[in-house]
Amino acid sequence: MNCQNPSLPETRLVAAAKARRLRLAVAESCTGGMIAQRITAVPGASAMFLGGVVSYANDVKRDLLGVGQEILDREGAVSLDCAEAMAVGARKRLGADLAVSVTGIAGPDGGTPDKPVGLICFGVASKSGARSEKHVFKGDRAGIRLQAADHAIALALAELGNVKPPEPQA
């Protein structure tokens, strides 16, 4: 893949964050580092990407990202509250201006009537606050994970327009 292709969302994300002097972090579960891999494949990403946490296990979500045990017990790891807390935790723990998170059920197993295979929850956290959203994607495991990574990168790119750049150092 040509990661210098300006039409790729990750290339646009890196360029936009660099232009605004904003730093990004990610918290990933079902995508297993796919978002971080795509961002770091873009030359110059080191100027804006701090890193990420692949928090596949609930203990990692709780202990590294600060997701409350009550959220995990009440809502589960695949929930809007968990996704939002993951993004907030990644932003705080990594010192980022903006963080995105993803947690979901990529399948082929693990789905329930309330939480079907393909359900992915996303979180976004910045100085202006935090929010979450969910989508149900169709396809096989690889396709669902790819769609989730695509959407997370698109969310980060969209959120950049809502985050004020840091004040210049005096």
Q: For residue range 67-92, what is the model confidence (pLDDT) as tens digits?
A: 999 999 999 999 999 999 999 999 99
| Averaged confidence pLDDT in the chain | 94
> What residues does 124 pair with on adjacent strands?
100, 131
E runs forming strands in the chain = 24-28, 49-54, 98-104, 119-126, 129-136
> What residues does 123 pair with on adjacent strands?
101, 132
Q: Does CATH number 3.20.20.70 belong to domain 9-160?
A: no
- pLDDT at position 7 is 84
- pLDDT at position 161 is 81
CA angle 47, 154, 168 (to 5 degrees): 35
pTM summary value = 0.94
- pLDDT at position 168 is 65
The percent of residues above 70 in pLDDT, for the chain, comes to 95
Q: For residue range 138-149, what is the model confidence (pLDDT) as tens digits?
A: 999 999 999 999
